[in-house]
Each structure stands twice: as C-alpha cells, then as structure tokens.
Amino acid sequence: MPDLILQGATVVPMDGPPEQPLGTVAARDVRIRDGRIAEVGQITPTTDDIVQSIAGLVLAPGFVHGHVHYCQTLFRGLADDLPLLDWLVRRIWPLEAAHDPESTRASAELSVAELLRGGATAAQVMESVHHAEVSLEVAATSGMTTILGNCLMDRAGPDVPAQLTTTADAALAAIEQLSDRCRSLPTVDYAVSPRFVLSCSDELSRAAAAHAVRHDLRIHTHADEHPDEGAAVRAQLGRDAIEVLHDQGLLGPRTSLAHCVHTTARERAILVETGTRVVHCPSTNLKLGSGIAPIAEYQARGIPVALGADGAPCNNRLCMLTEVRQAALLQALSAGPGRWPAAHAWHAATRGGAEVLGLADRLGSIRVGLRADLVAFDLGDPTRSLDGDLVSRLVYSAQRDAVRHVWVAGTPRVRDGVLLDLDHEALQRRAAAQLRLLLSRAGMTR
Ligand code: GUN
Ligand code: ZN
C-alpha cells in the first residue's frame, strides 16, 4: 500500500500539556502508513505516495464517543418527554426486551453510520442484556476502536420485563463468553457493564468486579444521573451510588461512570481517591431533566472527563459536535463563562476521551505512531468564516455539516460529507422494517 499524504490542512494535534491541550496549531502535512500516522510536518512527497490536498480544512483527531447504546438507536423518538426512571420503565426496557438479533444488528449499523458521519472514530458502547454479540460483530466490522459490553441486570422487579433480567450466573457466563470473543478482535475491547446500581444484585456486582480485575478489563456503568434514581438508591441500599460501587470493588482508573450529575462531596472524594473517570452526557442530562454535571469542578480536581451522547432516545442525536457545544454552554451557565473554556470541551471529545477510555497510547491525538483516525472540518461556511479563535469556531459554531472527511486507521470512511461503502437508504429501509417487527413483539404501536 502506498502512503497517503494529507496535505496543507490546519492541524489541531491535541498533543499539548493540560493547560494548552490543543498543542501547536499550524499548517502541516500528515503522512499515513499502514493505518498509522507516520510523519507530521512539511512533507515532500515521493512519486510512490498518494497525495490528497486538504488545504483550507482543519484536521483534528477523530472524536472519541465516551458513552452510547447502539441497541437504542432504533428507538429514537419513541421515548420523549419523560424523566429517567419512567423513560426506562415505560419505554426503554420494554423496547430492549423486544430486540432480537436482526433488530439489534440494524440498530448497531445505524449507530455506526451516524457516529462515523459525525466524525467519531472510537466509542464506548453499553449494549442490552441479550444479543450483545451481534453489536460486537457490527463494531468489529466497523473498524472503529470500540469498548463494548452487554449490560448486567439481575435484579428482577415488577418494573423490569422478565426477558431483560438474567440470573447472576447467566450474566457472568455472558461476560466470560463475550470478553473471550473480544480477545481475538484487534479493534474491540470488552467492558464489564453493570447497567446501574439499581439493576444489579450485590452478588453479581462483586463477582463482575472480581472478573474485571482478574482479566484486566474495563468497567462501564451509569451513576448519579437523576435525583429520583439517587433517592431510590439511598432508599434501597442506604448509601449513595458511588459509595456502593466503591464498596463492590467496581471503581478505579479502568472504570468510567456515565453522568455523575448529582455527586455528594464524599462521592467526589471517592472519584479522586480511586482515579475513576467520568463520561459527561450533557444533552441527555437536559432532555431527561436530570441536571447539569459539575464538570469544571471535576476537571479542577483532576477527575478525567470524556463526552458522550448516550442513547438516541434520550438525546436524540448521536453527534459529538452537539455534545461539545452543549457541554461548553452548560458549564458557562453553571460554573461561569471561562471556568471550563472551549478548549477543554474539545479535549474531552478527543484526547481526553481517549485518556478516560485508556486508549491514549493508540489514538486521540495527531502524533507519529498513533492510529490515523482523523477528521477534516470545513469551517468555510459564511456563518462561521469570521476570523476568530479556531477552537471557538469548532466548539461553538461548527455543526455536523462541517464534518467533510473522516478516516479510520487511514481508510477514508466519509468523503465530502458522504459515508463511503454504505447503502444508507437500504440500511434505513431495513431498520424501519426491523422496528415495525420489534414494536409488534413489544405490543406497542409507537
Ligand atoms: N441508567 C440505566 N440505564 C440507562 C440507560 O439506558 N440510559 C441512561 N441514560 N441512563 C440509564
Ligand atoms: Zn447511557
């Protein structure tokens, strides 16, 4: 394979120190060899190289999507205007319970298409209790670096469909099987994924934590998302969620907690002590009425933060540019303008996300040796072409149509805003048919 040289873009390398996370922004060429970044600078091509001029565009690392549910993408628009617990009980759990392998596949394929089109090239994915092996297959085929797990739910109750709970033993067997499968996949890592404290017995949580330690696996769960959830955790377990997770052995530098909107001082101290990471999902926190997470404070205390859209039915976009902007705007409101500057939001969406997920030695910045997961943004639209700080234009002004080209490990996946190698209309037709079947299995009209 000849090398590919991307020539003449303004490169935002994301390789600087914490106080200057963007690194040196400058016009540069990037050489890609065997899927990796081989050289960054003024490059004189040889006759063997393929050269693509991207002068006038801004080249940045692909987004690292810190928290998403591929299995929920099919449910977009089917669970609006509800707070978290009602959203789960009345809509999401019955819908997830009705998934079969083919509806799961359609949902995962739609997700990958949307993520790639929006410039995300890596993702952490929490799947449903069943059929996660199908999503795993879709993730592996996508080429995106993916951390994925089947969610664990063994606490049955009147609110949880019977098809969506398993015994602790069955959940542990599924962990074994899927984590084994991931070992042979170069781009997919397994994450032990308790759904949230309310879904898992103490026995399963402790056994899952022990399995993660034994096999050096990541852990991914939801915590402290909504006040009603917090009240239920305290009523049932007598403590706050992060205290429970800590006691169960589920926290540490390999753990990421989605949301962390309502943490107490004690819980924040535990996050710091254990090195646990946070995935901020600002749009979902607004839509479910959950609240605004104290991200500026987390960052000030050294708690690493990533960004994610969460599921399509609680957002209803899977767009990292949306989350970057939303995150910056919300911290301006809650912490004050300038307390969490735009560059921090961009960092959380790229290199910071890679750090949270333990992937920073593979991707997340434009550095020699890392995967060539890259996005070329076109900021030339008249609504955003005024001179100004580049990161401000990316964070506050850019919309999804600014994503012009995307490469995953050096392979072009989006060109001129169009997904390559994908019949989008056929996928949408298949997904619509699968949704009809799923709704009929769920006994729902819409
Ligand atoms: N808490 C437990 N499960 C979920 C989920 O699927 N989505 C969100 N946003 N929060 C959760
Ligand atoms: Zn979630």
Print the SS3 string covering 115-170. HHHCCEEEEEEEECCCCHHHHHHHHHHHCCEEEEEEEECCCCCCCCCHHHCCCHHH
**Proximal ligand: closest to the CA of 314:** 1
Distance CA 126, CA 143 (A): 18
Is residue 434 pLDDT above 90, yes or no?
A: yes
Query: 42 C-alpha vs ligand 1 centroid, how far in Å?
Result: 47
Q: Give residue 371's pLDDT band: very low, low, confident or very high (50, 70, 90).
A: very high
Q: Give residue 18's pLDDT band: very low, low, confident or very high (50, 70, 90).
A: confident
pLDDT the model gives residue 255: 98
Query: 82 C-alpha vs ligand 1 centroid, how far in Å?
Result: 13
pLDDT the model gives residue 388: 66
Tens of pLDDT, residues 296-346: 999 999 999 999 999 999 999 999 999 999 999 999 999 999 999 999 999
Q: Which of 95, 193, 222 to mutate to test the pocket of ligand 1 (most atoms within 8 A of CB)?
A: 222
Query: 257 C-alpha vs ligand 1 centroid, how far in Å?
Result: 11
Query: 310 C-alpha vs ligand 1 centroid, how far in Å?
Result: 8
Query: 363 C-alpha vs ligand 1 centroid, how far in Å?
Result: 27
**Proximal ligand: closest to the CA of 85:** 1
**In sequence order, what are the residues at sequence separation of 6 or more whose Cβ sits closer than 8 angstroms to the Cβ of residue 102?**
434, 437
Q: Single out the residue of 255, 338, 346, 330 nearest to residue 294, CA to CA.
A: 330
In 281-429 the beta strands, taken as DSSP E runs, fall at 305-307, 374-377, 403-408, 411-415, 418-419
Is residue 178 pLDDT above 70, yes or no?
A: yes
Distance CA 124, CA 172 (A): 20
Nearest CA to ligand 1 atom 3: 195
Q: Which of 68, 193, 225 to mutate to test the pocket of ligand 1 (most atoms within 8 A of CB)?
A: 225
DSSP string, 73-96: GGGTTSS-S--HHHIIIIIIHHHH
Is residue 384 pLDDT above 80, yes or no?
A: no
Using the atom order of ligand 1, give the atom closest to the CA of residue 198.
Answer: 2
Using the atom order of ligand 1, give the atom closest to the CA of residue 225.
Answer: 10
Is residue 386 pLDDT above 70, yes or no?
A: no
Query: 37 C-alpha vs ligand 2 centroid, how far in Å?
Result: 32
**Proximal ligand: closest to the CA of 220:** 2
**Bridge-based pairing state of the strands 63-68 and 50-53:** unpaired
Domain 63-356: CATH architecture, name and number where available: Alpha-Beta Barrel (3.20)
Using the atom order of ligand 1, give the atom closest to the CA of residue 92.
Answer: 6
Answer whether 100's CB lies under 8 Å from 440's CB: no
Using the atom order of ligand 1, give the atom closest to the CA of residue 229.
Answer: 1
Q: Which of 310, 315, 323 to mutate to test the pocket of ligand 1 (most atoms within 8 A of CB)?
A: 310
pLDDT the model gives residue 156: 83
Is residue 383 pLDDT above 70, yes or no?
A: no
Tokens of 240: 């706050």
Query: 222 C-alpha vs ligand 1 centroid, how far in Å?
Result: 6
Is residue 33 pLDDT above 70, yes or no?
A: yes
Pocket of ligand 1 (CB under 6 A): 69, 84, 88, 92, 195-196, 222, 225, 284, 310-311, 314
Is residue 280 pLDDT above 70, yes or no?
A: yes
Nearest CA to ligand 1 atom 10: 222
**Dihedral, CA of residue 21, residue 191, residue 186 and residue 363, to nearest 10:** 0
Is residue 161 pLDDT above 80, yes or no?
A: yes
Tokens of 39: 């050289």
| In the block, residue with structure tokens 């670096």 | 145
Using the atom order of ligand 1, give the atom closest to the CA of residue 314.
Answer: 9
Q: Which residues surround ligand 2, an ion (CB under 5 A)?
A: 310
Is residue 205 pLDDT above 80, yes or no?
A: yes
Q: Single out the residue of 407, 413, 420 nearest to residue 6, CA to CA.
A: 407
pLDDT the model gives residue 387: 59
Query: 279 C-alpha vs ligand 2 centroid, how far in Å?
Result: 10
Tens of pLDDT, residues 252-270: 999 999 999 999 999 999 9
Tens of pLDDT, residues 98-145: 999 999 999 999 999 999 999 999 999 999 999 999 999 999 999 999
Hey, where are the domains in the chain?
4-61+371-417, 63-356
Q: Report the CATH fold assignment for 4-61+371-417.
A: Urease, subunit C; domain 1 (2.30.40)
Query: 150 C-alpha vs ligand 2 centroid, how far in Å?
Result: 12
Q: Single out the residue of 204, 199, 201 nearest to residue 126, CA to CA.
A: 199
Q: Give residue 421's pLDDT band: very low, low, confident or very high (50, 70, 90).
A: confident
Is residue 381 pLDDT above 70, yes or no?
A: no
| In the block, residue with structure tokens 């767009």 | 319
Is residue 350 pLDDT above 60, yes or no?
A: yes
- H/E segment holding residue 146: strand 145-152
pLDDT the model gives residue 158: 84
**Proximal ligand: closest to the CA of 160:** 1
Cα separation values, 283 from 142, 318, 319, Å: 25, 10, 10
Q: Give residue 380's pLDDT band: very low, low, confident or very high (50, 70, 90).
A: confident
Question: Number of H helices and number of E strands within the chain?
Answer: 16, 17
Distance CA 355, CA 353 (A): 5
Query: 229 C-alpha vs ligand 2 centroid, how far in Å?
Result: 13
Q: Give residue 420's pLDDT band: very low, low, confident or very high (50, 70, 90).
A: very high
**In sequence order, what are the residues at sequence separation of 6 or more whose Cβ sits closer than 8 angstroms to the Cβ of residue 130?**
99, 150, 163, 164
Q: Single out the residue of 63, 116, 141 nearest to residue 354, CA to CA.
A: 63
Distance CA 193, CA 204 (A): 11
pLDDT the model gives residue 377: 97
The predicted model gives 207-216 an average pLDDT of 97
Is residue 385 pLDDT above 80, yes or no?
A: no
Q: Give residue 382's pLDDT band: very low, low, confident or very high (50, 70, 90).
A: low
Is residue 185 pLDDT above 60, yes or no?
A: yes
Using the atom order of ligand 1, give the atom closest to the CA of residue 222.
Answer: 1
pLDDT the model gives residue 69: 99
